[in-house]
Structure 1
Amino acid sequence: MNEAQPPAAAGEPDLRRETANRLRIGIGAFKRRVQDAGAAGELSNPQLTALSRLDRLGPMTTTGLARREQITPQAMGATVASLEKLGLVTRSAHATDARQSILSLTPEGLAAVHSGRNAVADKVTAVLEESFTDAEVAVLAAAAPLIERLAELL
């Protein structure tokens, strides 16, 4: 427990556990609705996630991508194979390990990841504009980096 935070008094709900459960439920529902809203022909969430990782972190192995997403290398391999088939990623020889290859975005992959991000961002932006106050958007903007950090630490 963080020493700056006093322990919960007897009978008080554990704020951290309640927050963890509400985040799990809310983020899960958000992910499902974003996936459901995807139009036919758009990249899947796993495909966009893999492309986004390569865009942000640079070239890496399939195993490296799998580790970042906390999935098996076999599952990531299926996603990478589909991205290769679409011409969005390319493989090159690993500098020190001939058993591995390095994945990189193609120019088409770079364009796809940016357009994919924009499609989702456009949908979320529309909902934020229609249904949230400026103060609520400010709270979400402040929470976003914390949620990203939480995801990285899990």
Structure 2
Amino acid sequence: MTTRTPPSTAAGPAASPTAGPVASPAAARVAADLRAALSPLVRRLRQVKPDGELTFSQISALVRLDREGPATASELAAGEGIRPQSMCTIIGVLQERGLVARDPDPTDGRRIVVSLTTAGLDGLHGARAERSRRLGLAIDEELTPAEQRQLADAIPLLERITRRV
């Protein structure tokens, strides 16, 4: 069991009562630089929408269904941190496009579960492939082979810190 270190009163106005341990100044600078570099990248990848491509919210719902399996609209909404009514709208659009199916829960007929269709899985993979294609082209066009190797070497480090955050 890990115990949290109480926040220092000298931590300044940004500290919160549940902040826990504080990173070293060097690590804090790297963290800020990393966020500043990755946030625009993530935003740009989310904005990439060729004609007919799904919105980020729609893709996010499909990803959750792909990872976690069938779920109710309420479960999906809770997982996404949105209102159930908003999720119902998203599911309605996905169902109209044939990407999800709504069926009675086999264990509780009062509940409706949403699941991916084959077309939904294909759509999800297509969206991922397009984002990967664009990112790959940017890497080819912007980075030297040595820089590409540096970036590749950094991926395991990013994965490790992602698991820790």
TM-score, L = length of structure 1: 0.75
Supply the distance in 2 between the matched residues of 1:126 and 1:18 (Cα, whole angstroms): 26
Q: Does 1:117 align with 2:132?
A: no
Partner of 1:77: 88
Supply the distance in 2 between the matched residues of 1:25 and 1:64 (Cα, whole angstroms): 32
The one-letter code matched in structure 2 to 1:81 is G
Task: Decide whether aligned partners of structure 1 residues 144 and 7 sit closer, same or farther in structure 2, where only a CA change above 3 A counts.
Answer: closer
Q: Does 1:47 align with 2:67?
A: no
Q: 1:99-138, aligned counterparts within 5 Å? A: 99-132=110-143, 133=147, 134-138=149-153
Supply the distance in 2 between the matched residues of 1:113 and 1:59 (Cα, whole angstroms): 15
Supply the distance in 1 between the matched residues of 2:61 and 2:22 (Cα, whole angstroms): 40
Give the secondary structure class of the aligned counterpart of 2:51: coil
Per-residue deviation, 1:142: 3.1
Task: Decide whether aligned partners of structure 1 residues 138 and 17 sit closer, same or farther in structure 2, where only a CA change above 3 A counts.
Answer: closer
Supply the distance in 1 between the matched residues of 2:100 and 2:163 (Cα, whole angstroms): 25
Partner of 2:25: 13
Task: Decide whether aligned partners of structure 1 residues 7 and 91 sit closer, same or farther in structure 2, where only a CA change above 3 A counts.
Answer: closer
Deviates further, 120-129 or 104-113:
120-129
Give the secondary structure class of the aligned counterpart of 2:141: helix
Point out 4+ residue stretches in structure 1 off by more than 6 angstroms: none
Deviates further, 83-92 or 54-63:
54-63
Q: Is the 8 A contact 1:91 1:104 kept in 2?
A: yes
- If asked which structure has higher relative contact order (CA below 8 Å, sep 6+), I would say 1
Give the secondary structure class of the aligned counterpart of 1:40: coil
Give the secondary structure class of the aligned counterpart of 1:108: helix
Partner of 1:90: 101
Give the secondary structure class of the aligned counterpart of 1:103: strand
TM-score, L = length of structure 2: 0.70
Per-residue deviation, 1:145: 5.5
Task: Decide whether aligned partners of structure 1 residues 62 and 25 sit closer, same or farther in structure 2, where only a CA change above 3 A counts.
Answer: farther
The one-letter code matched in structure 2 to 1:13 is P
Supply the distance in 1 between the matched residues of 2:93 and 2:119 (Cα, whole angstroms): 14
Percent of aligned positions that are identical? 31
Q: Is the 8 A contact 1:54 1:104 kept in 2?
A: yes
| Number of aligned positions between the proteins | 143
Q: Is the 8 A contact 1:91 1:102 kept in 2?
A: yes
Q: Is the 8 A contact 1:128 1:137 kept in 2?
A: no
Task: Decide whether aligned partners of structure 1 residues 22 and 83 sit closer, same or farther in structure 2, where only a CA change above 3 A counts.
Answer: farther
